[in-house]
């Protein structure tokens, strides 16, 4: 893969979680979250982005979201479970993505708010169509995702270098 070819980053917030008497990291998905995660997986598969790598938070709700979503994909990308994604700021998420090997062209990051929404806002220096307006109007509810594109090495990923191509959130 050439670093001159546009790369895709999909920022995917975990689906709706339940609130049982467990610590936050161990919270599972709610019934609605399981349905929305599968629907998000179908929508992600419809983007026709061939993911090379998924970077997923180690939290139970993100791992469950990913397991349900990836089941809808035509091929399963390599998956890395990264504890630094849990409760990460946009800057910390950029640092994680900067470590991505350049042979990975398209990466999916499954994480949490406010970091995922903040990262989508910080990275997208421009947007196509009404993607930014839809994202600004809806925010980043559970199971939402943003598709971004940028050119260059993963080490050059920084605020403002990406274009927001698409945004999707489940119906409320």
Chain CA centroid to CA 122, Å: 14
Q: Which two tokens stand for residue 157?
A: 């990923």
61 assigned to a ligand binding site = yes
**d(C-alpha 125, C-alpha 2), whole Å:** 22
Residues 6+ apart with CB under 8 A from 37: 14, 15, 29, 64, 65, 68, 69, 143
The answer to whether the CB of 61 falls within 8 A of the CB of 28 is yes
Report the run of H or E that residue 162 belongs to, with start and end.
strand 162-168
Q: What are phi and psi of 145, to 5 degrees?
A: -145, 155
Q: Which two tokens stand for residue 42?
A: 């179908």
**Bind-site residues for substrate:** 61
**Bind-site residues:** 61
């Amino acid at each position: 893969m050439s670093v001159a070819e546009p790369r895709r980053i999909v920022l995917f917030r975990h689906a709706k979680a339940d609130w049982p008497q467990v610590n936050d990291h161990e919270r599972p998905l709610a019934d609605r979250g399981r349905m929305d995660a599968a629907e998000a997986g179908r929508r992600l598969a419809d983007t026709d982005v061939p993911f090379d790598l998924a970077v997923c938070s180690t939290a139970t709700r993100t791992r469950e979201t990913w397991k349900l979503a990836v089941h809808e994909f035509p091929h399963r990308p390599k998956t890395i479970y990264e504890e630094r994604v849990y409760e990460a700021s946009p800057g910390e998420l950029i640092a994680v993505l900067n470590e991505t090997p350049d042979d990975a062209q398209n990466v999916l990051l499954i994480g949490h708010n406010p970091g995922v929404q903040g990262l989508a806002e910080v990275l997208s220096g421009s947007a196509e169509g009404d993607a930014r307006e839809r994202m600004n109007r809806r925010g980043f509810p559970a199971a939402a995702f943003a598709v971004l594109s940028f050119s260059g090495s993963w080490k050059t990923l920084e605020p403002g270098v990406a274009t927001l191509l698409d945004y999707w959130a489940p119906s409320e």
